[in-house]
Structure 1
Amino acid sequence: MKKLTVFMMAFLILAGCSQGNQAEEKKQEPKQEDVTLKVASLIPPMTEILDEIKPQLAEEGVKLETVVLSDNVQPNTALAAKEVDANFFQHVPYMEEFNRKNNAELVSITPVYFANYGLYSKKFKSAEELPEGATVAIANDVSNIDRSLSLLAQHDVIKLKEKKDVYYTQKDIEENPKNLQFKEVDLLMLARAYDDTDAVLMTPAYAAPLGLTPKSDALLTEGTENDFAISLVAREDNKDSEAIQKLSKAINSPEVRKFLKEKYDETAIPAFK
């Protein structure tokens, strides 16, 4: 009986020591640090969407830092130079043109929303009212020249030749019944062109500061059957990282869909299911 008692006491002591060691080992295990993701962007609603998903990502160990830049070139140059981890401001054709010009390896992670592109005029109430020789402002980068001309062709304002290159240019205009004159300006100057030209083609982000929305004010709109969804973009070398994939999931979440529906229903159409 005494031997059994001694044995039980020894067993309990050993068990206690083992549990104590395990507890000590747990205490000594280093706490996994949060990962910081820097995402370059420009203007609302992109910046607001990033703010919307910060709490969700924080719960998953990802600290999201939005880097707001001042033009539509810096977000890609910063991403290519690894100064940021991703960007959120552009459509895929714009990204592809940057890659071609800069031998870069930026990749689209996921589409987020369609910025409903439209034709606006301060002087005329319909596209039919545009006079002979009217001046129409369009963005001067090749992807948005293509986009602008395609929208006008979609509505039979002009007719384009069969596409033989990556992008349409003004040289591809086959028929131009009103002899419209296209003025190519920097993307960030489109809002100013609204005052200086007969009409301007632009996204809701640049129309909004003028108090304009696609559904209420645009003479023509683009819709969603196109490749121009505003997308989350990263690099080939980090596209599969856990943090980027968490960001991708968060930016395509029901919360973002609800946010767009409640705040940007007229201007931003979710591009994800």
Structure 2
Amino acid sequence: MRNTAKFTTAALAAGALTLGLTACGSGNAATDTSGPLIVAASPTPHAEILNYVKDNLAKKADLDLQVQEFTDYVTPNTATQDGSVGANYFQNQPYLDDFNKKNGTDIVPVVTVHLEPLGLYSNKVKSLDALKSGSTVAVPNDTVNEARALKLLAANGLITLKDGADNSATPADIAKNPKNLKFKELEAAQTPRSLNDVDAAVVNGNYALSAGLKPAKQALALEKAENNPYGNFLAVKKGNEDDPRVQKLAKLLTSPEVKKFIADKYAGSVVASF
């Protein structure tokens, strides 16, 4: 049986955060290098990849690996910072930079593992050209992923962003909007659930997979993997990079076995970055 715990944002709201995180680990998971390495992860594909390592590779490497699943993009970093978990695996560099800046945390990447291309999906149209004037498009509401979503739309000719629009771009940075698209800003996890209520939605790769979407086949538009800055990595609190457990996991996550697992399981919807 896998040592996997699932948490939702709602379950950790209104003051329960500290108590819930303390209960995640026994002692301080980040400093007790003699105990298991507890890694916080998004369910898909991160926890799936970690559980493949746990079930097939960790024992031979003498690594006691435990996986805790979180369905939001905040708690894994909070838990890593306070030591409730020893590492996390769910995010990219622009998101982490923004999180550290806003929250005063000092979390750092260890090794990049994969890319989940961001995609535009629709239950109402089958092509970009079919999007009508005035269509509503759902986009993630966190700083980095909203900018990333707008860049995807711009790269596919739906909008034009102002010169200098960066990783904090919002709809206010749109210079041209020929289809007069309207934007509905939602928590990233909610975007696939909005597909029946909007004309299209930009969905992060992990949430698309969790919702049963097939990015490589169903996306109206999909990020290109080449020179993409949004690779997802294993991360720890600064100072814990040389933890031998973390180093073992980093090596396993970038092994030929994991590369083959990603290629076989996700068929292009998730792409190894090593």
The alignment's TM-score, normalised by the length of structure 2, stands at: 0.83
1:237 to 236, 239, 260: 239
**Paired residues for 1:179-198 under 5 Å:** 179-198=180-199
- Do the aligned partners of residues 166 and 147 (structure 1) sit closer, same or farther apart at CA in structure 2, a change above 3 Å counting? closer
Counterpart of 1:81 in structure 2: which amino acid?
D
Counterpart of 2:200 in structure 1: which amino acid?
A
* Structure 2 partner of 1:80: 81
**Paired residues for 1:126-165 under 5 Å:** 126-163=127-164
CA distance in structure 2 between the aligned counterparts of 1:135 and 1:173, rounded to whole angstroms? 15
Moved over 6 A (4+): none
CA distance in structure 2 between the aligned counterparts of 1:78 and 1:204, rounded to whole angstroms? 23
Q: Comparing 164-173 with 40-49, which one deviates more in the overlay?
A: 164-173
* Structure 1 partner of 2:260: 258
What displacement does 1:157 show?
A: 1.2
* Structure 2 partner of 1:175: 176
**Paired residues for 1:196-235 under 5 Å:** 196-224=197-225, 225-235=227-237
CA RMSD of aligned residues (A): 1.6
What displacement does 1:88 show?
A: 0.7
* Structure 2 partner of 1:39: 39
CA distance in structure 1 between the aligned counterparts of 2:238 and 2:71, rounded to whole angstroms? 25
* Structure 2 partner of 1:93: 94
CA distance in structure 1 between the aligned counterparts of 2:120 and 2:165, rounded to whole angstroms? 25
1:120 and 1:201 in contact (8 A); partners too: yes
What displacement does 1:155 show?
A: 1.3
* Structure 2 partner of 1:103: 104
CA distance in structure 2 between the aligned counterparts of 1:141 and 1:260, rounded to whole angstroms? 27
Unaligned runs of 5+ in 1: 1-32
The SS at the match of 2:185 is strand
CA distance in structure 2 between the aligned counterparts of 1:208 and 1:107, rounded to whole angstroms? 26
1:92 and 1:229 in contact (8 A); partners too: yes
CA distance in structure 1 between the aligned counterparts of 2:71 and 2:211, rounded to whole angstroms? 19
- Do the aligned partners of residues 234 and 152 (structure 1) sit closer, same or farther apart at CA in structure 2, a change above 3 Å counting? same
Counterpart of 1:242 in structure 2: which amino acid?
P
Counterpart of 2:229 in structure 1: which amino acid?
D
The SS at the match of 2:239 is coil
What displacement does 1:195 show?
A: 1.0
1:37 and 1:84 in contact (8 A); partners too: yes
**Paired residues for 1:61-72 under 5 Å:** 61-72=62-73
The SS at the match of 2:89 is strand
What displacement does 1:150 show?
A: 0.6
Unaligned runs of 5+ in 2: 1-32
Give the count of matched residue pairs. Answer: 240
1:121 and 1:219 in contact (8 A); partners too: yes
* Structure 1 partner of 2:8: none
The SS at the match of 1:48 is helix
The alignment's TM-score, normalised by the length of structure 1, stands at: 0.83
The SS at the match of 1:67 is strand
The SS at the match of 2:139 is strand
Counterpart of 2:45 in structure 1: which amino acid?
P
CA distance in structure 1 between the aligned counterparts of 2:174 and 2:201, rounded to whole angstroms? 18
What displacement does 1:124 show?
A: 0.5
Deviations 1:30-64 (A, max 9, x none): xxx96411100121221111111124233233211
Q: Which has the larger radius of gyration?
A: 1
What displacement does 1:164 show?
A: 5.5
CA distance in structure 2 between the aligned counterparts of 1:119 and 1:74, rounded to whole angstroms? 26
The SS at the match of 1:257 is helix
2:92 and 2:233 in contact (8 A); partners too: yes
CA distance in structure 2 between the aligned counterparts of 1:149 and 1:166, rounded to whole angstroms? 10
